[in-house]
């Protein structure tokens, strides 16, 4: 039994020991379990804290294996603008901004479906349409069998940083764009070239260059990018203001519906439109300056400078193509009279109209230039012969002589044309212009209103004119001048009423040169001032001499030229000569012509009034040739009208002239002005004039101009 018990005990002992050991181990396990639980609880609480913290910072969402959202945290909802219900069941395309290309998303799916974590910066769009950037990590979650069953997305909002980066990048692009555009504006570009530059730089500088398109409208012109379409999905625009006026627009558009980066991109196009406006203002000013430098202000025709260029081109062209070029030098006949009598405004209108008419007579490739004053030059390019130039000259004569309806009047004017042809009459612009000018003078000399081709003979005449000028300069000191006196007779007593001093030039080789040959030359060269002084002094000395010899000397009329009359020292010069010679103004009459009076009415009235007050008698010479209205005479303190010889000549046969004389006499009577008929040659003329009530005559019928000695016989001794 004992044995049996001992055996049992022996057999049970290990079991008991095992039991004890198990118990100890259970206790140990229990203790461990307890510790683990504590750890788990601690970890769980930490996890909850982490989760809360992450939830505050990150946008967390969980999607199923198809990518449909099954869970989204509140930060996700807050940033995206959607609430949880709106998100659940949707895939992430609900957030798509459209900014990333398709390949971006393909790559994302490829990575996560292989079980790898995907990380990128993603631009999303809120429910309200605004863009935001998130730093995104997508972690695929596997179940116990290793299959991917969830996708955990954790996103951190990086919009602020992204915006800053974009802004810096964009600013860099924009400032680069502006710099390039300004560089282009500094170089000499045409409007079209510059606009193309602007369009290229602007579209490259915006956020989505590949879909950017632009247009510039400027002063009626339109410039566009190659991809331009009339209707943009999105559009920005800025006005182009030039000199205060809106003259165009800069438009920038996206071909797809992408948003502009505002306000920066609007600012950019505002700055470019403003710069373009300033550039265009400068361009217009430059154009105006170069236009003014090469064109005549009044008529808008090319001026002398541009003409020189055009002639040089025409010569080069004619030389290459074995052609000719012609220069037509055109001078209006008696334009000065119209200008002086009707005023500069009328004269200007007439010149403008002349320019228009000349242009209408030539081809587009020919040039019509204004040389100055009433002179125009027409350049005919590539003509084959002289006849072509002659035909154009005829056309011009015809066009110019048509009446000009200006200021309620019908004005008439003619022109004289001189023609020089390249290469026959000169090889360069200077010679051709000079020779056409010579030919024009010739046309004037032979009666105006015609055209003349330049000939070598004309050169001879010009040489002669030059020699005459040299001789005229020395004529006074060589004592070649002499004064003649032509009586003015008063009817019916046939008494010497007055006389006119007329200048003669006794040239050592040419003999007696008439005033018609040298007075104009003296006027043109200014020599008339000193010659006029000589005449006045000589006349005064003669009067004094006659008076000292006891003669009653009637008034002596002195011709004053226009240039003398305009001379500021006229009154002072006359006074000095009278003082030097001791002659009184009551011994003299001063003759002026109509045209001198009309130029500067106030000034003319002032000078004449001064002379009248000094005691001079004043007369208007060659009356009737100035085409002026009779009415203006009442403004001037005039004593005598001298009717021009051209009216007297045909007075008996020409009813028109007779009517004019009758009108002048009637008006003179009203104004209490005496009348002298000039150039009376026949008894019939005297009879007619007497019948009309004209009593004073000057003319060959009574006496030709006489020397002082010859005239002396007609003077009466004073009592």
User: Of these partners, Mg ion, ligand C2E, none, which one is at the site of residue 700 (CB under 5 to 8 Å by kind)?
Assistant: ligand C2E
Secondary structure of 101-138 in HEC code, one letter for each residue? CHHHHHHHHHHHHCCCCEEEEEEEECCCCCEEEEEEEE
User: Of these partners, ligand C2E, Mg ion, none, which one is at the site of residue 624 (CB under 5 to 8 Å by kind)?
Assistant: none
Backbone phi and psi for residue 530, each to the nearest 5 degrees, phi listed first: -75, -35
CB of 621 to Mg ion, least distance (A): 4
CA 554 to mean position of chain CA atoms: 62
CB of 563 to ligand C2E, least distance (A): 9
* CB closer to ligand C2E, 503 vs 607: 503
Dihedral angle, C-alpha 77, 80, 85, 86, nearest 10 °: 170
Q: Which stretch, 196-204, 281-289, 475-483, 589-597, contacts Mg ion (CB under 5 A)?
A: 589-597
506 touches 482 (CB < 8 A): yes
CB of 506 to ligand C2E, least distance (A): 14
351 touches 374 (CB < 8 A): yes
The residue among 133, 157, 159, 162 whose CA lies nearest residue 57 is 157
User: Of these partners, Mg ion, ligand C2E, none, which one is at the site of residue 514 (CB under 5 to 8 Å by kind)?
Assistant: ligand C2E
Binding string to Mg ion for residues 415 to 444, with x set by CB under 5 A, is what?
------------------------------
Backbone phi and psi for residue 273, each to the nearest 5 degrees, phi listed first: -65, -40
What is the DSSP secondary-structure string of 392-427?
A: HHHHHHHHHHS-EEETTEEE--EEEEEEEEETTT-S
CB of 501 to ligand C2E, least distance (A): 6
Q: Which stretch, 336-344, 398-406, 606-614, 677-685, contacts ligand C2E (CB under 6 A)?
A: 677-685
Which residue in the set 341, 559, 589, 619 belongs to the binding site for ligand C2E (CB under 6 A)?
A: 559
CB of 357 to ligand C2E, least distance (A): 33
Q: Which stretch, 340-348, 587-595, 611-619, 710-718, contacts Mg ion (CB under 5 A)?
A: 587-595
Binding string to Mg ion for residues 652 to 691, with x set by CB under 5 A, is what?
--------------------------x-------------
* CB closer to ligand C2E, 258 vs 645: 645
Q: Work out the burial of residue 361: count CB atoms within 10 Å of its CB; fewer than 13 is exposed, 13-18 middle, 19 or more buried.
A: buried
* CB closer to Mg ion, 199 vs 677: 677
What is the DSSP secondary-structure string of 342-380?
A: H-HHHHHHHHHHHHHHHHHTS-TTSEEEEEETTEEEEEE
Binding footprint of ligand C2E, residue count (CB under 6 A): 22
Which residue in the set 411, 681, 692, 715 belongs to the binding site for ligand C2E (CB under 6 A)?
A: 681
* CB closer to Mg ion, 245 vs 650: 650
Residues between 478 and 537 that touch ligand C2E (CB under 6 A): 486, 502-503, 514-516, 519, 532, 535
338 touches 627 (CB < 8 A): yes
What is the DSSP secondary-structure string of 547-566?
A: HHTTEE--EEEEEPPHHHHH
User: Of these partners, ligand C2E, Mg ion, none, which one is at the site of residue 705 (CB under 5 to 8 Å by kind)?
Assistant: ligand C2E
Binding string to ligand C2E for residues 570 to 609, with x set by CB under 6 A, is what?
----------------------------------------
User: Of these partners, Mg ion, ligand C2E, none, which one is at the site of residue 475 (CB under 5 to 8 Å by kind)?
Assistant: none
Q: Which two tokens stand for residue 25?
A: 């181990």
Task: List helix spans (H) across 476-621.
Answer: 515-525, 528-548, 562-566, 570-581, 594-599, 601-614
Binding footprint of Mg ion, residue count (CB under 5 A): 5
* CB closer to ligand C2E, 205 vs 680: 680
User: Of these partners, Mg ion, ligand C2E, none, which one is at the site of residue 607 (CB under 5 to 8 Å by kind)?
Assistant: none
Q: Measured between alpha carbons, how far is 449 from 521 in angstroms, rounded to an integer?
A: 21
CB of 339 to ligand C2E, least distance (A): 20
Q: Which two tokens stand for residue 106?
A: 């393909």
Q: How far is CA 310 from CA 351, 369, 378, 393, 441, in A?
A: 22, 10, 11, 19, 24
59 touches 82 (CB < 8 A): no
Which residue in the set 157, 591, 594, 617 belongs to the binding site for Mg ion (CB under 5 A)?
A: 591
The residue among 268, 278, 159 whose CA lies nearest residue 204 is 268
* CB closer to ligand C2E, 585 vs 699: 699
Q: In what order do the strands lie in the sheet with 212-218?
A: 221-224, 212-218, 245-254, 234-242
Q: Which residue has the tokens 């809360």?
A: 52
Residues between 613 and 632 that touch Mg ion (CB under 5 A): 621-622
Residues between 541 and 560 that touch Mg ion (CB under 5 A): 559
User: Of these partners, ligand C2E, Mg ion, none, which one is at the site of residue 353 (CB under 5 to 8 Å by kind)?
Assistant: none
Interacting residues with ligand C2E (CB under 6 A): 486, 502-503, 514-516, 519, 532, 535, 559, 561, 621-622, 645, 678-681, 698-700, 705
């Amino acid at each position: 039994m004992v044995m049996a018990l001992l055996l049992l005990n022996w057999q049970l002992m290990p079991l008991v020991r095992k039991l004890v050991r198990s118990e100890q181990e259970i206790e140990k396990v229990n203790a461990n379990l307890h510790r683990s639980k504590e750890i788990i609880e601690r970890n769980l609480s930490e996890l909850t804290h982490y989760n809360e913290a992450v939830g505050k910072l990150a946008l967390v969402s969980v999607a199923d294996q198809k990518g449909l959202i099954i869970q989204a945290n509140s930060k996700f909802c807050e940033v995206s603008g959607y609430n949880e219900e709106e998100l659940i069941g949707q895939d992430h395309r609900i957030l798509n901004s459209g900014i990333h290309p398709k390949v971006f998303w393909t790559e994302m799916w490829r990575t996560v479906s292989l079980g790898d974590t995907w990380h990128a910066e993603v631009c999303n769009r809120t429910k309200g349409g605004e863009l935001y950037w998130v730093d995104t990590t997508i972690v695929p979650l596997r179940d116990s069998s290793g299959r991917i069953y969830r996708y955990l997305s954790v996103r951190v909002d990086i919009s602020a940083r992204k915006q800053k980066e974009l802004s810096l990048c964009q600013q860099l692009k924009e400032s680069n764009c502006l710099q390039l555009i300004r560089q282009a504006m500094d170089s000499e570009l045409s409007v079209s070239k510059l606009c193309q530059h602007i369009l290229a730089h602007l579209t490259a500088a915006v956020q989505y260059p590949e879909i950017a398109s632009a247009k510039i409208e400027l002063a009626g012109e339109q410039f566009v990018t190659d991809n331009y379409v009339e209707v943009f999905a999105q559009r920005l625009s800025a006005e182009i203001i030039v000199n205060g006026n809106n003259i165009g627009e800069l438009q920038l558009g996206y071909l797809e519906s992408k948003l502009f980066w505002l306000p920066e991109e609007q600012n950019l196009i505002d700055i470019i439109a403003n710069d373009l406006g300033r550039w265009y203002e400068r361009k217009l000013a430059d154009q105006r300056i170069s236009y003014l430098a090469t064109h005549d202000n009044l008529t808008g025709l090319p001026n002398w400078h541009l003409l020189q260029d055009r002639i040089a081109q025409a010569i080069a062209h004619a030389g290459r193509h074995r052609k000719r070029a012609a220069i037509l030098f055109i001078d209006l006949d008696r334009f000065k009279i119209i200008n002086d009598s009707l005023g500069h405004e009328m004269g200007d209108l007439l010149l403008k109209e002349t320019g228009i008419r000349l242009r209408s007579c030539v081809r587009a490739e020919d040039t019509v230039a204004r040389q100055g004053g009433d002179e125009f030059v027409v350049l005919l390019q590539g003509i084959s012969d002289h006849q072509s130039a002659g035909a154009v000259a005829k056309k011009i004569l015809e066009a110019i002589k048509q009446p000009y309806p200006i200021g309620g009047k019908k004005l008439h004017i003619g022109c004289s044309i001189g023609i020089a042809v390249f290469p026959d009459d000169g090889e360069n612009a200077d010679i051709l212009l000079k020779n056409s000018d010579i030919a024009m003078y010739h046309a004037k000399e032979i009666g105006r209103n015609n055209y003349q081709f330049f000939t070598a003979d004309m050169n001879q005449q010009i040489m002669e004119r030059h020699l005459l000028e040299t001789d005229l300069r020395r004529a006074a000191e060589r004592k070649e001048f002499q004064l003649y006196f032509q009586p003015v007779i008063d009817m019916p007593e046939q008494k010497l009423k007055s006389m006119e001093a007329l200048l003669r030039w006794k040239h050592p080789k040419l003999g007696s040169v008439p005033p018609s040959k040298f007075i104009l030359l003296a006027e043109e060269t200014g020599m008339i001032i000193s010659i006029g002084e000589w005449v006045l002094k000589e006349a005064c000395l003669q009067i004094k001499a006659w008076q000292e010899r006891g003669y009653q000397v009637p008034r002596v009329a002195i011709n004053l030229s226009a240039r003398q009359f305009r001379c500021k020292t006229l009154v002072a010069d006359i006074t000095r000569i009278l003082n030097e010679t001791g002659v009184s103004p009551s011994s003299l009459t001063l003759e002026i012509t109509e045209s001198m009076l009309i130029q500067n009415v106030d000034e003319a009235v002032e000078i004449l009034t001064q002379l009248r007050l000094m005691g001079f008698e004043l007369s208007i010479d060659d009356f009737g040739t100035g085409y002026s209205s009779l009415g203006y005479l009442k403004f001037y303190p005039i004593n005598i009208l001298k009717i021009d010889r051209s009216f007297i000549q045909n007075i008996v046969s020409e009813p028109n002239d007779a009517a004019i004389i009758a009108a002048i006499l009637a008006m003179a009577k009203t104004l209490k002005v005496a009348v002298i008929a000039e150039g009376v040659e026949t008894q019939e003329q005297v009879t007619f004039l007497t019948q009309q009530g004209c009593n004073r005559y000057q003319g060959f019928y009574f006496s030709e101009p006489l020397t002082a000695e010859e005239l002396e016989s007609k003077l009466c001794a004073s009592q």
